């Protein structure tokens, strides 16, 4: 994962559910076919209500036109991010769209675990509400070593909750890769 990432933020509100992250009608695409899986990125966040999209401005599109990758690599969310059904497609779709991390006040447990276990996204929790301290399009720097998020547009820095042992799983690329690298499971000779 490296020590730091930079880019632009996309700000969302509370209770962003998995059907808003990737609508059920788009769960028909292959996760393993490289070309077909780009559809997950293209439709990521396509069902977020207009008053929640691109907060605090509202109505800013996450994916433009026919693209499958977004210009935004970090999502700042409110509380209960990823609530709803337990679909692993949700963090996959965000990763496919180019999101590297999410900083939210809190997560639905299954979304958090799917993000970590699949090695899709880094799910940080904030110590305070950050959706009113950033606006969509602000430049950021996320420092994994110091657990800080800096708004480069305002020069304000915020301390995040430490990832703890989850960081080892994220760094390994997911739960199965972590288990292989740590010797918990043997590498199959059938691979």
User: Are 72 and 63 spatial neighbours (Cβ–Cβ below 8 Å)?
Assistant: no
CA distances to 168, 172, 180 from 188, in Å: 22, 17, 10
At 79-109, the pLDDT tens digits run 999 999 878 899 999 999 999 999 999 999 9
For residue 157, report the phi and psi dihedrals to the nearest 5 degrees: -120, 140
* This prediction's pTM: 0.90
List the CATH code of the domain at 4-163.
Answer: 3.20.19.10
Strands 72-76 and 4-11: parallel
Mean pLDDT (the chain) is 90
11 forms bridges with which residues in the sheet? 76
What distance in Å separates the CA atoms of residue 108 and residue 68, rounded to the nearest whole number? 25
Identify the three-state secondary structure at position 24.
Answer: helix
pLDDT bracket for residue 187 (50, 70, 90): low
pLDDT digits (tens, 9 = 90+) for 69-85: 999 999 999 999 999 98
Alpha-carbon gap, residue 164 to 114, rounded angstroms: 17
pLDDT number for residue 117: 87
């Amino acid at each position: 994962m490296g020590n730091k990432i930079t880019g632009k933020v996309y700000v969302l509100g509370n209770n962003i559910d998995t059907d808003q992250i990737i609508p059920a009608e788009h769960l028909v695409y292959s996760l393993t076919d490289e070309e077909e899986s780009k559809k997950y990125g293209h439709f990521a966040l396509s069902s977020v209500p207009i008053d929640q999209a691109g907060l605090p401005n509202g109505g800013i599109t996450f994916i433009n036109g026919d693209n499958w990758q977004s210009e935004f690599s970090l999502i700042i969310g409110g509380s209960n991010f990823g609530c709803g059904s337990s679909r692993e497609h949700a963090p996959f779709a965000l990763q496919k769209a180019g999101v590297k991390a999410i900083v939210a006040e809190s997560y639905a447990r299954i979304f958090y675990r799917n993000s970590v276990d699949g090695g899709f996204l880094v799910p940080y929790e904030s110590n305070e509400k950050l959706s009113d301290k950033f606006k969509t399009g602000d430049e950021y720097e996320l420092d994994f070593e110091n657990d800080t998020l800096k708004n480069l547009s305002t020069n304000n820095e915020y301390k995040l909750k430490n990832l703890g042992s989850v960081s080892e799983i994220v760094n390994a690329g997911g739960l199965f890769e972590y288990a292989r690298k740590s010797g918990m499971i043997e590498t199959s000779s059938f691979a």
